[in-house]
Structures are given as structure tokens and as C-alpha cells.
Amino acid sequence: MVRERLKKIFPSWQNALLALLAAGLLILAFPDFEYWFLAWIALVPLMWAVERERSAWRSFLLGWLFGTAFFFGTCWWLTYAPIHYAAVPWPLAYLLIFVACLLSGLFPGLFAAILARLLKRFGIWAILAAPSTWVACEFARYWLTGNNWNSLGYSQAFNGMSVDLAGFGGVLAVSFACVSLNSVWVYSAYYAHRSGQYRFGRVVATIYPGLLLIVILLALSLEWFDWRGRGRDQGTVIAIQPNVPMSGLNQSKWHQLRDSQISLAETEIDKLRTTNKVLPTTVIFPESPMNFAYEDDREFHKFINDFAIRNNVGVLFNSSEPDKTNGKYFNSAVMVGPDGKVAAEYDKIYLLPFGEAVPFPFEGLMPAFVGSFSYGSKYDLVPLGDAKAGVMICFESHFGELSRRYVQGGADAIIEMTNDGYLGPTPVLRQHLANAVFRAVETNRPVLRVTNVGITAYIDERGNVQDPLPSYTEGTRVWTVSKSDGSQTFYVRYGDWFAWLCTIVTLLLMIPAFRKSRETISN
């Protein structure tokens, strides 16, 4: 009797293994492995296990197991900072990250539970609702947790084919495409598994991918129609990757590193002066542990102004700037012009939860790990010659809404200033780069990625990563920036419309499934 009760509560061990197999395949689709094609089959074992269970609760447990394993397998690098810089014992660090993965894993669990309910109500046809259900659950994770790191679509960042769909519906549209093909495999396998119905399943499995391909091609054709290219070059950017260490910075070392960065910049400035192409030049320093304070540090204030005037360049750098309304500071990007005056300032809007600010309702109950910053509120652009750019500071490259607002405001390019050094030489470097790839494709604007330890690179409008610097090395890159024609992608114009559509479709499908369950209970 105990065994029967356990069977009603927990999924079978065979289905649990299928869920873990799905997690393993999907882990391999992401950096550092980057077998991106596995994302197109990775969910098949999970969905097959859900189809076998047909219980919402047991399927939820399967999805939760899958999600926890996946997030732990792709985000274990979060332990690097507490172990190496906060002296947290490694068992405790991994335990804390495991708890965070348990929370994130609830959303794949929700997906599996909804899918099980739909399968019970509509039969195997419901497997074709899996793409919209998956997107709805990823969208819910974004809204409830404040991030959607390693959303399924990001596995395709370095694919070069399906990533173009992001200009139509954002990264979640690519997630939809991946789950669609997974659904096709499950659907056809279901009919192949049942005698006498294979022919029908083969026909459906042929038609559905064809329809999906047509939709994708139509979406991409809309994007190509809107994309009309860019004008002549308007400015030059010198990107500095200084490779500043994360610890051991005394005053002497700080000044030495600052002088080294200035030397790198002036070497490239001298090279530009020998060419015939003279364009307004901007030197960009990344986010780093050097913690510049332009307004409060008068010595640094004079130093950077003198550098800009002496070389006739603009300088963009990360700085802690005072918020005079509450005594806190903004995490800012400050642009000093060739005249030695502030030309623009952007105050970071999307602060790292629990790192740079403690979100509601935990505010006041615990301190932020890095510092308690004020939230910025203005989508200010910085000048790059006659062109304009929006700035993303580190974690902000994860938010398509930010780059979208920049382009709506007239941005010709996007600049990302990042420091991933606290997380070590781990998969985070490529995973973070994947975010920038999607921001470029979603907006049809190049992303100029300037980092402390890597990966510094120019990402063109189609998501191609060009001219990358090796990680954990000191170096520079020189790029030109041109003015856009002002055209906007479907995603820029309408934002997360596709995710909202999938959410609405999922909710509508759940209504008859829920009614059926209530009727069964009452009878």
C-alpha cells in the first residue's frame, strides 16, 4: 500500500532518468560546450516522460528535476566569486547556488505540469501547444525573478541561422522555434509507437515542420525588407580591455593600472593620426574593480579631463556618481567630451538583484553584496561623433527592453561595458556574450562590447561576433560607428508581443482543461 501511494506522488524512476537526460542534452547546447543543435532535440525525453505520466503533479516534479539540473549545470560558475573573494567554504557556496537553481527550476516544472494537464484533456494533439507553453513559462520567470538567464533561445546565439528570428519576436521567439521542433519529434514518435497509426503521424510530422518553416521564413523576410543598411562612418571607437585583477589593488597599483590604460589608448590614438581618415574619436574603458568616482574624486576628475583635451577625444568610463536626492550613488557611464566637459551621463537602470540593490520586499532586511545603488530612470544616449549610442552596464545586456528603448530614442549603436572577472575563466564569458548577440539582432544595431577581462568584441547587426580579444589578456580594438537610417525591427516597434501572445494562448488552452478537471471532480 505504501508503494502504491508513493507511485501516485512521485514519477517513475525511468521518467526521472528521461528528465535528467533532457537536462544533460540541454546543458551541452550552451557554452562552454555549444553543441547548439542539441537544443532542437533536448526536450524530447522530458516531454515524452510527461506524456507517459499524464499527472500534473508528477509531471511538475519531473520538470522541476529537469530545471534544477539544467540551471545548476549551466550556472555553477556563480560559486566562483563567493569561494575566491568572500572566503565562503565551497560546500556552502554550491549549496546556496543549488537552492537558487531549485527556485529557477520551478518554471520548467510549471511547464511540465501545464503540458500534462493539456495532454490529459486534449490527447497527444496538446504536445503541439508545448512551444507556446514553454515561452509563457520563460516569460513568467522573467517577470517574477527579474531575469531570464540561459533562456532556451540563447543556446542559438552562435548558430547564425535561427538567431535572425529574434528581430521578429525577441529571444523567446527563438525558444519557440526550438521547442516546436522538439514537439514534432515527440508527436511523430507517439504515432510511430502505436501500431496502425504511423502513416498518419508521418503525414502530420511532415506538414507541421513545413508550416513552421514558412512562418519563420515570412518573419525573416519582413526583417530583411525593413533592413536597409547603414550610412557612412561617423566616429571611431577605441575599446580598452585592461585585464584589471579583482583583488590586491592598493593606491600604487591603481595608479599604475590607470596609466597603463591611458598608454594603451594613446598608442591607438597616435596610429589613427597617421591615417587619412580623421573621425571624431571616443575611448571606452570598461566596467572594472577600479571604481572611478568622477564627481567626488577631484584628482581623477582633472586627470581624465586633461587626457580628453590633450588628445582631442571623448572618453566614456564607468563611475560611481552621487544621487543628490537620497545620498546614495548611481552606477553610471560618464562621457567626457574633447573639451573636458561632461557630454552625457547614463545611470544604470537594471541593477543586479542583491548585488547592487536589494529588491522589494527584501529591501531593508538585508544588505546588497556589492553596494546599495540608486536606480536610474532615464534612457540617455551618448554621442559618438554624429552618431548616438545607448549604454548597457554589465547585467543590463540581459534586458531586451533596454536596448529597444535606446533604438526608439534614436540610437545608432549599443555599447556594453562589462566586468565578468569576479566569475573567473568560466562559461559565464560566452553566456554573457550570447546576450549581447541577441540585443544586436533584436534591434538591428551593432553592439560594441568593451570588457575588463573578456570577451571584448564588435557584434554586427546580424549577430556575427567580429574582432574578439582573447580573454584575460590586455589589449585594444578600434572600430568605426556609422549612423543608421532610423529603421526599426518588428521587435523594437512592438516589444514582447510574441511572449504575450504565447501567454494568452496558453491561458486560453488551460481554461477547458481546468473545467474538465472540475467536472470530473464534481461527478
Cell numbers for 24: 544533460
In the chain, what are the domain boundaries?
Answer: 2-226+501-522, 230-488
CA-to-CA separations, 408 to 134, 158, 196, 457, 489, in angstroms, rounded = 29, 26, 55, 24, 10
Please state at what angle helix 428-443 crosses helix 400-408, rounded to 10 degrees: 30
Q: Which of 47-61, 180-194, 272-286, 296-310 has the lowest mean pLDDT?
A: 180-194
Enter the pTM of the model. 0.88
Predicted confidence band at 210 (pLDDT cuts at 50, 70, 90)?
A: low
Q: Which of 53-62, 215-224, 242-251, 260-269 has the lowest mean pLDDT?
A: 215-224
The more confidently predicted of residues 66 and 351 is 66
Question: What is the helix (H) or strand (E) element at residue 390, kind and residue range?
Answer: strand 387-393
Phi-psi region of 86 (alpha: psi -120 to 50; beta: other; left: phi over 0): alpha
Compute the average pLDDT of residues 474-482: 93
DSSP label of 384: E
Compute the average pLDDT of residues 6-10: 74
Phi-psi region of 298 (alpha: psi -120 to 50; beta: other; left: phi over 0): alpha
Residue-level pLDDT at 155: 95
Domain 230-488 matching CATH 3.40.50.300: the answer reads no
Q: Return the number of other C-beta atoms located less than 10 Å from residue 324's C-beta.
A: 9
Query: Is 468 a residue whose pLDDT tops 80?
Result: yes
Three-class DSSP category at 288: coil
Predicted confidence band at 319 (pLDDT cuts at 50, 70, 90)?
A: very high
Q: Return the number of other C-beta atoms located less than 10 Å from residue 334's C-beta.
A: 24
Per-chain mean pLDDT for the chain: 86
**CA–CA dist 258, 241 (Å, integer):** 12
Residue-level pLDDT at 415: 97
Q: What sign does the dihedral 368-373-374-380 (CA atoms) show?
A: negative
pLDDT in tens, 302-311: 999 999 999 9
Cell numbers for 283: 575611448
Query: Is 385 a residue whose pLDDT tops 60?
Result: yes
pLDDT in tens, 95-153: 999 999 999 999 999 999 999 999 888 888 888 899 999 999 999 999 998 889 999 99
pLDDT in tens, 262-271: 999 999 998 8
Query: Is 199 a residue whose pLDDT tops 80?
Result: no
Predicted confidence band at 231 (pLDDT cuts at 50, 70, 90)?
A: low
